[in-house]
Amino acid sequence: MESQNFPVNCESENIRIIGNNNSSNFEIDLDEEINIVFHSVKDLMKKYIMYSKTSESKVVSGGLQQFLIRKMRGRSRKKETPDPQLHFKKNNNSCSIAVSDGVNKDKNGEMVSYFDCMPVNVKLNIFSYLPTKDLINITSVCHEWNLLATDDLLWHQRLDWDLPKWEVLSFTTNPKMYQEVNSEWSYKEIYMKCSPEANRSWKKINSTFYQVSNMLKYFFPRKAPRVAMFGPGLETSTHKLVRKLLYEDNDKFSRIAMFPGQFDGVGAGMTLKLKTGSTFHLTVLYSGTKQEREKPSHRNRANHSRLFINSTQDKDNTGIELQPAVKNLCHTLDAFIFVVDASQPEELVKSALMELKAMVNERSSAPHVPVVILSCISDKTDVHSKIPACRIVELLELVNLDKKWLVHDCVVTGLEGLHLAMEWMVEHAQNK
């Protein structure tokens, strides 16, 4: 604990009040306490100087010490703060009053902080309120803090708290995967592996490597991947996503071409170029024309979609089958983008699982084809009611998917998060 020195000049005397306080209440009222003590000390010092035998030796007797102790204790009880301990240090021409708050003595008589005397569970509870960055930094304070800050129970709790707030999860950064297989990794290692903030920091540290890697891609050009975008999110409150891709400019990617629908008016698309220089052909698959989608009877997309044929697999399970033209399209695709509306109830999101499986399973022989799940909301006002990305993973049963997958939050109004999902998709689609 660091000391704070407050000089108090009483005529020829030099008095220092050293405050070492852990209590927030004591810190707030410290200035007031100093003023009270200052005036009390000033009056008493005049009396002691008058009765001193010599003018060279200025001695503070026990009466002043007891007065200050009673004064400070009385005010600390009123404000429900720990009683401060006053320690006097004498020098040749000065005396200092050490106000030590939050300290105690161990069995050897040495001063230790109240924090060191606390039980381990109390210390862990205090550490649990620290931000993740600070929790990592305090491991270098001392050996005891290193043990506390790396406690497995502490990081388990931190993982449970922060996981619903993460905006991105993938097949390699899903904490549930490591927990289900009983990984030997500690919870801190799992957290650091899966945390989006930790991954961004790691990428920032290695930014030079990524810049050189992107530059080398220009010398080894690859085929632009063909991607299909589909899903119920294209026809709900987040339907403006495609319109913004078509007509609004942004600094993350640009449109360099457009192409018409490939079958029955369905399947129009565009060619997009990312800021990294990569390009890809995006085909948008609606379940019908605009007039058909606006009909009330079109709410059951599986039964009225131009993309699927209703088929009964067996007596208990009912599934859907792709139209022949859609099947042929799937065999030419290098990636999938499935759009869901994260502001809808979980039941509606889960009902789209059959649609996702029908499209992705058509490329079951190509496990290298990545699948991106865009968990969209229309604007930031829906952020508090949205379904977390970790819950989207569970509803769509992505852990059972035999492909590379990514779930990324996206705000349709500003297309936030979309370019990051597209960069991940292009990178994994080209690295077969």
The closest alpha carbon to 152, from 199, 182, 191, 195, belongs to 191
Residue 232 · residue 304 · CB < 8 Å:
no
Residue 422 · residue 280 · CB < 8 Å:
yes
Q: Which residues contact 223 (CB under 8 A, 6 or more apart)?
A: 430
Please indicate, yes or no, whether the overall pTM of this predicted structure exceeds 0.75: no
Is residue 91 assigned to a domain?
yes
Position 6 scores a pLDDT of 38
Q: What is the pLDDT along the chain (432 residues), one digit of tens a residue?
A: 344 443 434 333 333 434 444 445 545 565 666 666 566 656 655 655 555 444 444 444 455 555 555 655 555 555 444 444 434 344 444 443 333 444 455 555 555 666 777 788 888 888 888 888 888 888 888 888 888 888 899 999 999 999 999 999 999 999 988 887 777 889 999 999 999 988 888 777 666 655 666 656 655 667 889 999 999 999 888 989 988 988 887 888 888 888 877 666 566 789 999 888 889 999 999 887 777 666 665 556 656 677 888 644 443 344 678 888 888 888 889 999 999 999 999 999 998 898 899 899 988 888 889 999 999 999 888 888 899 999 999 999 999 998 999 999 999 998 999 999 999 999 899 876
Q: Six-digit token pair at 338?
A: 């499935």
Residues 229 and 180 in one domain: no
Position 59 scores a pLDDT of 45
Is residue 210 assigned to a domain?
no
Residues 231 and 145 in one domain: no
Domain boundary among 113, 129, 144: 113
Residue range of the domain that includes 123: 118-202
Residue 252 · residue 423 · CB < 8 Å:
no
Position 252 scores a pLDDT of 85
Position 199 scores a pLDDT of 85
Q: What CATH number did the domain enclosing 409 receive? A: 3.40.50.300
Residues 125 and 92 in one domain: no
> How many structural domains are present in the chain?
3
Residues 108 and 156 in one domain: no
Residues 54 and 155 in one domain: no
Residues 256 and 194 in one domain: no
